[in-house]
Structure 1
C-alpha cells in the first residue's frame, strides 16, 4: 500500500468491462498484469504488476451499472479535499455525476464530467494513494494519461484549477472525441482489450501542454 498523498497526480484506474474473465486473461498475457479478487462479495478485481497494485477491473454486468454502458476506463485524479474540488468544478462548468462519498478507511471520491466532455473521478486519500509513479519504464505500467479533446488549451487550464501537477498528464487535440486515455509504459503500439477499450502507448517525460503544436 502506498500512503503518500496523491494530490495533483493521477493515482488509479478502473477498467470496467462485461467480460471480466476474457479481459483479465488478455491483460495477463499481453501486459503481465495479474488479477486478484480480494473479496468474493465484490465485483472488483485488483490488477497487480510485480506485486504492486496498479488498478482494478470491474464487472459492468453488476447491478450498480446501468444497462448499455460501454466498456471504458475510469481514471482517478488525487485531490486534497474532494468536497472543495467538487464545488470548484461546478463553478468552472463541469457536471458532477456522482456526489462525493466515502469508501470507509480508503478514501473519498466523486465522479465528474469536465467542460470538454471527458469523465474523471476525483480521489481524496484516507490511506490508500494508488499506484507508485516511480517505476521501471521497461515494464508495462500506467503512466501520465492523455486528455483528448477539441480544445487542449481549455482542458489544461481547467485541470490546473484542480491542482494537476505539471507533467502529470498530457493534453492533445482530437476533434472526434473528448476523453481521458490510459497510457502504458513499455508499449510501442495501442492495445485493444476484448471489450474494445484502447490502452495507449506512453513513455516518460510527458508535460502538460497549454496549446496545440
Structure 2
C-alpha cells in the first residue's frame, strides 16, 4: 500500500481532477471502473466531489458548465504538480514562457492553487497543500501511478520544465527508438517524462491509473458506458486507453506478473 501522509516535494505530481458537467454520471462510471467511493451527496448535488479509495482522496471531479468537448478542453484528467510556494512557482512559469490561466488563489483551507499552460500548450495545475495533501493513495490499483507529457514539439517543453521545477532530464535506455526523456527532481526521483509524438497531435499531460487486470478494467469501462482500445503489452505494463462517457481519455495499466 502506498499512502501519502505529508505534502509531496516540489515538482511531484500530487493531485488529479476532471472537469465534468455531470458529476453524478461521472461518479457512476469511475465507481464501476475503479471501485471508488465519493463524498456523500456531493456528486448528486453537482458540487466538487472527492473520489475516495478506502476512504482516502485519490482524485477530484470538478463541475463544469458544459461538456469538455464543447468548451474546447483537452478531454483529459488534469494533473497538479506540488509546490511549497504556489505564487513563486507561478512566477517561474511565466518567466519560463508559460501562461497563467487561473490563480494563484486559496481553495478554502485546503491549499493554494493555480492553473497554467506551458509553452507547447499543455495545461497543468500547481498545488500547495494545506488541509488537503493531494492524492493520499498512489501506485496501486485504483489510483494514480504516472503522468507523462506528450507533445509534437518536445524541445521547448524540455527547456521549460527544468526552468520551473529544477528538473534534470535523462534518457531511457529501455526505449532507444522513442523520443522520450525522463523528468527527475533535484534529488534524482523520477516524476514522469516528456514524449515527442507526431505533428498534429495535441500537447497534453496524460494520466495513467494502475489496475490489477487491464483486460478486466477494459470490460468494466465498456459495461459502464465508456469505450476502450485493445490492451497491449509493454515492458512496463499491460496497458489500454479508455475514454469515459464524456469523451475524456486516460490510460490504465497492470504491472507484469
TM range (shorter): 0.7 to 0.9
Secondary structure (helix, strand or coil) at the match of 1:98 reads strand
Determine if the alignment matches structure 1 residue 85 to structure 2 residue 89. Answer: yes
Residues 168 and 133 (structure 1), Cα distance of their counterparts in 2 relative to 1, 3 Å cut: farther
Residues 111 and 160 (structure 1), Cα distance of their counterparts in 2 relative to 1, 3 Å cut: same
Tell me, in whole angstroms, the C-alpha distance in 2 between the residues paired with 1:45 and 1:17: 11
Shift, 1:11, TM fit: 0.9
* Range with greater deviation from structure 2 (162-171 or 111-120): 162-171
Secondary structure (helix, strand or coil) at the match of 2:27 reads helix
Tell me, in whole angstroms, the C-alpha distance in 1 between the residues paired with 2:157 and 2:28: 35
Number of aligned pairs?
A: 199
User: Normalised by the size of structure 1, how large is the TM-score?
Assistant: 0.82
Pick the aligned partner of 1:113 from 117, 121, 137: 117
Partner residue in 1 for 2:35: 32
Partner residue in 1 for 2:241: 190
Partner residue in 2 for 1:10: 13
Partner residue in 2 for 1:169: 192
1:133-185 Cα shifts (integer Å, max 9, x gaps): 6543xx13111201111233432332223325241112111231101111111
5 Å-filtered alignment, 1:85-104, equals 85-104=89-108
Partner residue in 2 for 1:180: 205
Residues 78 and 49 (structure 1), Cα distance of their counterparts in 2 relative to 1, 3 Å cut: same
1:50-87 Cα shifts (integer Å, max 9, x gaps): 2221011122128xx9x735454221110121111111
CA RMSD of aligned residues (A): 2.6
Shift, 1:202, TM fit: 4.5
Greater RCO (Cα-Cα under 8 Å, separation 6 or more): 1
Structure 2 unmatched runs, 5+: 168-184, 215-238
Q: Which has the larger radius of gyration?
A: 2
- Spell out structure 1 runs of 4+ moving beyond 4 A: 37-42
